[in-house]
Structure 1
Amino acid sequence: MHSNSSSDEISERITHEAAHWCIRVHEADFTPKERARFEQWLESDPAHRLEFEAMQDIWTTSEAIAVSPVGTTGNTCARPIRQRRQGAFRHYAKAAAFVLLALPIAALVGWKQGWVPNDFQRYSTTTASSEVTLGDGSTVIMNTNTRLTYLNYIDHRSVVLSEGEAFFKVSHDATHPFVVSAGNGDVTVTGTQFNVWKYSEQVVVTLTEGSVIVNSDSRSKARAVRLVPGMQASYSASTRRPETRTVDTRQVIAWQEGKLIIDDLTLDQALPMINRYLDSPVVLGDKYVGDLRLGGIYNTSDIAGLVQALPRVLPVQLARNKEGNTVVRYKRSYSPLEIR
């Protein structure tokens, strides 16, 4: 009896700690010293990381719930409240949103008003890709290390891509738009096929069929661009408007066949593509090595082998930094001027 009580206390303590860190990492005043303490807490116990990831999923989901539904405007009565400390407000707003989901009558009212979803699904992958079918019949092929959440509202379908990469085949419904939120922006469609890759704060959207609207800022429609098949749009937190270009979509979605195609890219461009398949990212050791170019077709199951082979195809050497990351540097026998 005492053992069960002790176990419950430990579990409750971890939950409280995870909730605390989940709130703090999203605050603007989160300091580097706090970040170091958070990382230490995260690594000290596998249960800490599992609980924190669960909290992150709750945070992501409640962000989607808290957003005003498509075609509606926010409650003007809430504006004075928003002028208070944002972190505390978001915390209690999220708690209130989940209470609504737990109460059948309130949930029914919330569904009819477009405030809360009637369907909520959460998916994640680690070392292998996976195909899932959403509640609306749309299918999603998820690359490795990907997390997403699906919510179905009365007037729109919402997917939050927290991290990773996914290829969407959206079930057509002109009256029920499908919105993928990634980073600061979103992708809106009624029925089409497209790929979304989120890496750090960078988001890349590639359209293979149909039409999509890509917005680099979910709060402003003025930053949106429309794509046609064969086009790609990219944006980040600092992008005013998505940057677009024409691409070979077969190369972009080759990951579905277990292939990574690098088409004569600089190492600076290629490393984000490589790092999505590694447990810890490869980093550049100096400002010159990022300009070296790399090409080829590689198996996504052996990207670690690609990294180890870099010294055989480029004038570089590999080392480890104190964080355990692989660092790519020029070989000492070369100088930047000789190579450039």
Structure 2
Amino acid sequence: MIDDRRKTLRQDKEAAAWFTVLNDATAEVENEDLEKFDKWIQRDGNRAAYRRIEDISSAAGALRNDTEMQAAARQALARPTQKQPGPARLSLRMPRLWGGLALAGVVAAGLVILIGGQAKTYETDVGERMTAHLDDGSTVELNTDTRLRVKFRLGERRLDLVKGQAFFNVAHDARRPFLVTAGPMEVRAVGTRFDVRHDGPGASVVLAQGKVQVRAKDVPEAAWTLSPGQELVLRPGVRAHPQTIGRG
């Protein structure tokens, strides 16, 4: 397992270096280097690694605004570059390759956030409220005495409302669904606005805009789709069905 993760990280770093070289608009890629790239990408796992770097590049807008990424970039670019020992090292001779390897350190940090899913926790005390600005452009308004855990990955945005109440204004991203768990409930959205309350063994969701899918975590076949203005409450021993707010 550890060896597999090391191999994947090495492939991601190599892929980041290749991506930088092949997308450098200031320099021409030589045929010799294209042949080397063709041999590299044919090796087991390298094509998938290169696609991961392409995905990260498309998500770079969020990373550029991330202070942790900016700090990682400064540290990576400030480090002296050294050739990597062993058969896995890249043999490109172009000077800009080393800039690519420096960028690989930044991309590796990005992989921790986008693929590894670095978790963040937002919390309010009794009588306190706050607005959390998430890395994807979404915002969450936390009510009093609320705790929210956020873990973004490359393929999904997952949040756990441990307790309390929060209003979610979700940035649209069809490739990464926005998943909120609260006690027995999981809410799935793409780009929408909704409120979730987690109180003891139960939870509720109110949809303000867009559309969400709600399911009971312990009963996979129990699922509902809400329309704006509807509320769903899940509590042990109580039959659940969507209700329009203001009606019985």
Aligned equivalent of 1:243: 241
2:146 matches 1:146: yes
* Aligned 8 A contact 1:225 1:242 in 2: no
Q: Secondary structure at the match of 2:228?
A: coil
Aligned equivalent of 2:188: 188
Alpha-carbon distance between aligned partners in 2 of 1:110 and 1:193, rounded to the nearest angstrom: 24
The aligned amino acid for 1:131 is T
- Structure 2, unmatched stretches of 5+, are 1-106
Alpha-carbon distance between aligned partners in 2 of 1:169 and 1:193, rounded to the nearest angstrom: 5
In the TM superposition, what is the alpha-carbon distance from 1:176 to its structure 2 partner? 0.6
Alpha-carbon distance between aligned partners in 1 of 2:155 and 2:182, rounded to the nearest angstrom: 20
Which 4+ stretches in 1 moved above 6 angstroms?
Answer: 104-107
Q: How does 1:143-292 map to 2 (within 5 A)?
A: 143-217=143-217, 220=220, 222-238=221-237, 242-248=240-246
Aligned equivalent of 1:281: none
* Aligned 8 A contact 2:184 2:202 in 1: no
Alpha-carbon distance between aligned partners in 2 of 1:108 and 1:166, rounded to the nearest angstrom: 28
Which of the two has greater helix per residue? 1
> How has the CA–CA distance of structure 1 residues 133 and 218 changed in structure 2, closer, same or farther, with 3 Å as cutoff?
farther
Alpha-carbon distance between aligned partners in 2 of 1:109 and 1:121, rounded to the nearest angstrom: 13
Aligned equivalent of 2:123: 124
Alpha-carbon distance between aligned partners in 2 of 1:132 and 1:163, rounded to the nearest angstrom: 16
* Aligned 8 A contact 1:124 1:148 in 2: yes
* Aligned 8 A contact 1:212 1:227 in 2: yes
In the TM superposition, what is the alpha-carbon distance from 1:107 to its structure 2 partner? 9.8
In the TM superposition, what is the alpha-carbon distance from 1:185 to its structure 2 partner? 2.0
The aligned amino acid for 1:150 is V
* Aligned 8 A contact 2:114 2:152 in 1: no
Alpha-carbon distance between aligned partners in 2 of 1:108 and 1:142, rounded to the nearest angstrom: 28
Alpha-carbon distance between aligned partners in 2 of 1:110 and 1:210, rounded to the nearest angstrom: 28
Aligned equivalent of 1:14: none
Q: Give a deviation string over 1:265-292, Cα, whole Å, max 9, x none.
A: 9xxxxxxxxxxxxxxxxxxxxxxxxxxx
Q: Secondary structure at the match of 1:175?
A: coil
Aligned equivalent of 2:17: none
Alpha-carbon distance between aligned partners in 1 of 2:203 and 2:112, rounded to the nearest angstrom: 35
- Structure 1, unmatched stretches of 5+, are 1-103, 249-262, 266-340
Alpha-carbon distance between aligned partners in 1 of 2:113 and 2:195, rounded to the nearest angstrom: 31
In the TM superposition, what is the alpha-carbon distance from 1:184 to its structure 2 partner? 2.0
The aligned amino acid for 2:123 is S
Q: CA RMSD in A?
A: 2.8
Aligned equivalent of 1:293: none
Aligned residue pairs: how many?
Answer: 141
In the TM superposition, what is the alpha-carbon distance from 1:242 to its structure 2 partner? 3.5
The aligned amino acid for 1:224 is A
In the TM superposition, what is the alpha-carbon distance from 1:180 to its structure 2 partner? 0.1
> How has the CA–CA distance of structure 1 residues 111 and 238 changed in structure 2, closer, same or farther, with 3 Å as cutoff?
farther
In the TM superposition, what is the alpha-carbon distance from 1:236 to its structure 2 partner? 2.5
The aligned amino acid for 1:152 is F
Alpha-carbon distance between aligned partners in 2 of 1:106 and 1:136, rounded to the nearest angstrom: 17
In the TM superposition, what is the alpha-carbon distance from 1:136 to its structure 2 partner? 1.1
> How has the CA–CA distance of structure 1 residues 219 and 169 changed in structure 2, closer, same or farther, with 3 Å as cutoff?
same
Q: Secondary structure at the match of 1:243?
A: coil
In the TM superposition, what is the alpha-carbon distance from 1:120 to its structure 2 partner? 2.1
Q: Secondary structure at the match of 1:223?
A: strand
> How has the CA–CA distance of structure 1 residues 203 and 154 changed in structure 2, closer, same or farther, with 3 Å as cutoff?
same
Identity level (%): 33
In the TM superposition, what is the alpha-carbon distance from 1:243 to its structure 2 partner? 2.3
Alpha-carbon distance between aligned partners in 1 of 2:217 and 2:162, rounded to the nearest angstrom: 16
Q: Give a deviation string over 1:195-243, Cα, whole Å, max 9, x none.
A: 00111011010001000001122661x111000001000102445x642
Task: For CA contacts below 8 A with separation 6 or more, give which structure has more relative contact order.
Answer: 2
